[in-house]
Structure 1
Amino acid sequence: MKKVICECGHENPYGTELCESCGKPLKDQGKGLVNMRYEGAARRSQTYSKTIVDKIWNFFSSVKVGIWIIVLTLLASSLGTIFPQEMFIPPGERASIYYREEYGTAGQLFYQLGFHNLYSSWWYMLLVAALGTSIIVASIDRFFPLHRALKTQRVSRHPGFMQRQRLYSRTAADDGAKEKIRLAKDTLKKKRYNVREENGNLLAEKGRFSRWGPYVNHIGLIIFLIGATLRLFPEMYLDDHIWVREGQTVEVKGTGGEYSVRNEEFLIEFYDDEDERFINNPQQASAVAKTYQTTVTLLQQSSETIGAGAEPEEVQEYAIRVNDPLSFEGFSLYQVDFKLNELSEFTFAVEPEDGSDNEMFSETIDVNLYDPEVFYELDNGFTVEILEYFPNYVFENNEPGTVNRIPDNPRLIVEITPPGEDEGEMSMIGIQVNNPFSEENEYRLRMVDFDTNHVSALAVRRDRTIPILIAGGIIFMIGLVQGSYWHHRRMWIQERDGELMLAGHANKNWNALKKDFDWLSEQTGLPKPEDQAEEETTGQRDEGVNSNNDNAGTDKQ
């Protein structure tokens, strides 16, 4: 597309409405105010529309498209707040079961639609990417033409540019016009205007930096979106949990085996019945935890000895309380939950089915419910083999299974083989459960004792995106303040062909510009420019009144 050459000799890109140099209107030579949006500069989205790249660019540069993307993103984000996201459900719960049991059919639908992990879903990230693309394309489409137009503007402007500004006046230049212009230059400098002079004409400008406020705003948004997107990568953001039983050592997730914690002791305190908080319901006091903490030892293993079987080094001992985490190497361990008296061990004895007492059956076996052995051999010749183990037993679809690996409802399928026998007797055992698989079984496992353990849930968190999010937020606020509390004001004062012309433009807050012109008129005696937008409105109103009067007169006749 050919460039548009103005009469001043400046070559303007195709689609430019105002000459970038002298300001002469290149389009719409009729009456009315000149289009000062983006200084009349040519934007790529308004000039190119042939190739597929042009169409994609024009699509994302549209403000309407950007608004619709924002609306869709907000609607999608609100869907994820109907029920808690999976990361916020109780640790150890299976999402497929939790949502159905807690929220019924609506919760099951919420899970099946994938809304339980909405903010990391591919379609939501596609919306975020589309929003970021829209912001970047729309900003580039407007920033560079605006920057070029403001940078190349001359002091002396075309009369057509002057007379079609909103604030404009034209009077005959008297003998003191040049002195008034010189005085105006000094006066405007006192008002902190940046004044440029060319051939006796003035351009006074103030607050141009505010024009870049929206673009600084957009830069902050882009940085913020980048930070939010980086939270999908485990190296940048981690929010997980670990269950640590008393006396147990567990690897800290995300450390690659370098760090682990050992639960030394779990401590919990409940409110007293006489506490004033429960004066109306003292029975509830003993059920509400006052404080709970986990005393842990942080262990570190060097990268050279990971997997080599070397003993880790004790780094520190720390009492983790609610809102008082253990922090190290960018990780933080928070106390988030606990479980008292979790089953940890069953003690069984082999005895006859008829319950007869015999000294040969006094021997017992201990079954670790966290990691049971497969084969147990007793001194009396009996052997016990665990064929199947279901820590949290459920029976679904006509098949036994387990909800998770936590021994809340343990069941074991065992085979008891008497001494000298090749085949054993099978049965299922558990809490108050002892079901033989055959009525001909002669022996059974009887539970004689059990042991429990306290378990502590620690949240493992690492967030390296916080500095990025803070930087994006600060830049966003800077752009917001820059574009909201300042505005771009310009005054043109020219003497041409015996006439004194004044014009002014502001991107907003026209009253402030009018007051500056009033103050300038008082100080220098220059005429006040008139608001042509108000004149057009008044003229249209007068025409409407006259038309109504004419119609009324016709009706009377």
Structure 2
Amino acid sequence: MGKMQCKCGHVNPPGTILCESCGRSLTEEEQNKKLADMRYEGTARRSQTYNKSIIDKIWNFFSSVKVGVSIIVILLIAAAIGTILPQAQYVNVPVRNDATIKAYYADVYGEIGKIYHFLGFHDLYSSAWFILLVGMLAISLIVASLDRFVPLYRSLKNQRVLRHPSFMNKQRIYAEGPAPEDSMQKAEEKLKDLKYKVTLDKNGLLAEKGRFSRWGPYVNHIGLIIFLFGVMLRMMPGFYVDETLWIREGETRAIPDAPGYFLENKNFTMETYTGEGEDAKFEEAIDRVGTVAKNYQTDIVLYQTPEESLPGATDELEEVEEHAIRVNQPLKFDGYAVYQMDFRQNELRAMTFDLTNKETEESLGSLTIDLVSPEKSYDLGNDTRVDLLGYYPDFSGFENGEPQTETPIPNNPGFLVRMFTPETPDGEVSFIVIQNTIEPLGENQYKLTFQNAETRDVSGLTIRKDSTLPILGLGGLIFMIGVAQGMYFNHRRFWIQKQEDGGLVLAGHTNKNWYGLKKDLDQVSEFASLPPYIDQQEEIEKQEKLEKEQKLEGDELS
């Protein structure tokens, strides 16, 4: 498509429908219209002009409003599907990794869960295809904005005062007729009083107000682009952290996604209301549900590795601070916040057994098995020892004769042991679980008798860091400014030209709020004695309505 030269001599870019200089219609289709197309001031958009190279096709694809809306609809549908089953971060699995999460969805939700996990809906907002869609939406916003903003800005910046009669009489607000000699001067004075910017050229006048409102949608797009940029930054390491850390009393563990920081759980405390004294107001609730929590608290110590330490080294931890983490009272450090979110009480830590003679019940000694890091052998003295052949923290049964553990958490510990005594130097094999002993090689002379168990509490902490909040906030603020700019303000213009016979021609246009434009024009007309104007859109609608009624009457008569 080549450049288009107007009869006035101005050369317009390809695709222009209204001359940038005089406003004359350049296409046959535009010439046949009753009102001028002022949406983009009649300027050419790149997407409607070029369609040859692969770059043109990509540009045209992303500049389409339909494409942008389609991407938004797909994102909304995906977000809705993502709420059908819980997201992976809310799934309660003992060990959080891809295998356990995949197994959870398959076990709990069957085939639907498998498909849900396979398609990435279990971790929707971090899935590659969802991030790709968000990126495509950002590209669509950028391309669509540039495709419309650049020609509109160029046209409004270079708009002329004097316009061709065909431009004037195709505006919605139009007036033509005789007027006093000083009408132009009085119109200029009144328009300036109404805060219009007035430009004069020979026998013409252009009054303009609220041009900045035309940029409202593009300011919206800038805000959305910044917001989407913040969302995509959440996928980058270090910008956004939302991790769960289960830490037992007496345990020291590295903080997920916080390199160099460690937490030690000194003690967990749970307090409940008693229903007596000051707590009497909770008596009814206590009677109904049993217990009402008063406080969850984890007393922790925060450590940091020295700067000169090797990555992962824990032998020279430096204490940073001690803190009592309570609900809504997190530990905060270096942009991170550690919240008390959950707990498990009375988790098994160690179990003590006596090695006894089954017939005489004589004890040859006791041993304590640490359920977190058990030893391979326990020497009881006098040629007596117990070897731990296998340890199954969460015994779930036998498979092909082999004991199985469901999780590494000591919920139902099982032990495969070989017991050596002076009377049984070759050893006797037993498999021990809570309240049950299996002797797979025949009846034994000795057994391990359970004596007591040591328990401890486990704190469920959530580690959060969000460096994208300022970016998201800035994007939201800019978006709201654009909303206000586009909704509560409008771009109003008046063209007034004095004819050779002394009469005036007036045209008016606004992108919205025609009532406000007419109200301003009424004040100017009264003050400057301008010729009466007509709303051509209303006249067209009246004419179309009349023609429709006449056609209906003709159909009835026939």
Same-fold call, TM cutoff 0.5: yes
Instruction: Supply the AA of the counterpart residue of 2:24.
Output: K
8 Å contact from structure 2 (residues 18, 41) kept in 1: yes
Kept in 2, the 8 Å contact 1:4–1:14? The answer is yes
Q: Residue 343 of structure 1 corresponds to which residue in structure 2?
A: 348
Task: Give yes or no for the alignment of 1:153 onto 2:156.
Answer: no
8 Å contact from structure 2 (residues 359, 445) kept in 1: no
Distance 1:540 1:420, change over 3 A: same
Alpha-carbon offset, residue 279 of structure 1: 4.8
Aligned: 1:37 with 2:39: yes
Q: Which of 208, 213, 216 lines up with 2:216 in the alignment?
A: 213
Specify the code of the residue in structure 1 equivalent to 2:5: I
2:41 is paired with a residue whose SS is helix
Could you tell me whether the CA contact under 8 Å between 2:239 and 2:465 is conserved in 1? yes
Distance 1:308 1:322, change over 3 A: closer
- What does 1:332-411 align with in structure 2 at a 5 Å threshold? 332-352=337-357, 354-358=358-362, 361=364, 363-395=365-397, 398=400, 400-411=403-414
Q: How do 1:323-338 and structure 2 match up within 5 A?
A: 323-338=328-343
Q: Tell me the distance in 2 between the aligned counterparts of 1:423 and 1:133.
A: 75
Match of 1:185 in 2: 188
Q: Partner of 1:465 in structure 2?
A: 468
The offset of 1:419, in angstroms, is 5.4
* TM-score under structure 2 length normalisation: 0.92
Q: What is the alpha-carbon distance in structure 2 between the residues aligned to residue 77 and residue 355 of structure 1?
A: 66
* CA distance, structure 1, for counterparts of residue 191 and residue 368 of structure 2: 94
Q: For 1:444, what is the secondary structure of its paired residue?
A: strand
Tell me, yes or no, if the aligned pair for 2:93 and 2:101 is still in contact at 8 Å.
Answer: no
When residues 397 and 20 of structure 1 are mapped into structure 2, their CA distance, relative to the original with a 3 A threshold, is farther
Question: Any idea what SS the aligned residue of 2:124 has?
Answer: helix
After superposition, the C-alpha distances for 1:29-61 in whole angstroms (9 at most, x for unaligned) are 224101111111111111112222222221221
Q: How many Å separate the matches in 2 of 1:50 and 1:252? A: 55
| 2: CA distance, partners of 1:286 / 1:546 | 80
Cα deviations by residue, 1:447-471 (Å, 9 ceiling, x for unpaired): 2221001111111111111111111
Instruction: Tell me the CA shift for residue 400 of structure 1.
Output: 4.1
The equivalences for 1:279-290 within 5 A come to 279-280=283-284, 282-290=286-294
User: Larger deviation: 486-495 or 118-127?
Assistant: 118-127
Give the CA deviation at 1:550: 4.2
Contact 1:91 1:241 in 2 (8 A): no
The answer (yes or no) to whether the contact 2:275–2:281 under 8 Å persists in 1 is no
Compute the displacement of 1:542 (Å).
1.7
Larger displacement relative to structure 2 (9-18 or 380-389) = 380-389
- Report the Cα distance in structure 1 between the residues aligned to 2:499 and 2:376, rounded to whole angstroms: 104
| Long gaps (5+) in structure 1 | none
**Rounded Cα–Cα distance in structure 1 between residues aligned with 2:288 and 2:342:** 19
What residue is the counterpart of 1:529 in the other structure?
A: 533
Paired residues of 1:91 and 1:457 also in contact (CA < 8 A)? no
Contact 2:286 2:292 in 1 (8 A): no
Letter in 1 for 2:215: W
- Judge conservation of contact 1:197–1:203 (CA < 8 Å) in 2: yes
Match status 1:196 vs 2:237: no
Change (3 A) 1:508 1:71: same
The one of 53, 56, 72 equivalent to 2:55 is 53
What residue is the counterpart of 2:510 in the other structure?
506
Question: Among 130, 135, 143, which residue is 1:129 paired with?
Answer: 135
Distance in 2 of aligned mates of 1:466 and 1:426: 60
Q: Per-residue deviation at 1:375?
A: 2.7
Partner of 1:166: 172
Q: Give the match's secondary structure for 2:257.
A: coil
| Contact 1:517/1:528 (8 A) holds in 2 | no
Instruction: Work out the number of aligned pairs and report it.
Output: 547
Between 1:396-405 and 1:526-535, the stretch displaced more is: 396-405
Q: Which shifted more, 134-143 or 107-116?
A: 107-116
Mapped to 1, the partners of 2:200 and 2:146 lie a distance apart of 31
Q: Tell me the amino acid that sits aligned with residue 464 of structure 1.
A: S
- Conserved? CA contact 2:250–2:264, under 8 Å: yes
Secondary structure of the equivalent of 2:238?
Answer: coil
Give the AA of the match of 2:212: F
SS of match in other structure, 2:520: helix
Counterpart residue type for residue 270 of structure 2: I
Q: How far has the Cα of 1:284 moved from its partner?
A: 4.2
Confirm or deny: 8 A CA contact 1:278 1:285 kept in the other structure: no
Going from structure 1 to structure 2, the CA distance change for 1:234 and 1:447 (only over 3 Å counts) comes to: farther
The percent of aligned pairs where both chains have the same amino acid is 48
Say which is worse superposed, 138-147 or 107-116, in terms of deviation.
107-116
Q: Which amino acid aligns with 1:249?
A: T
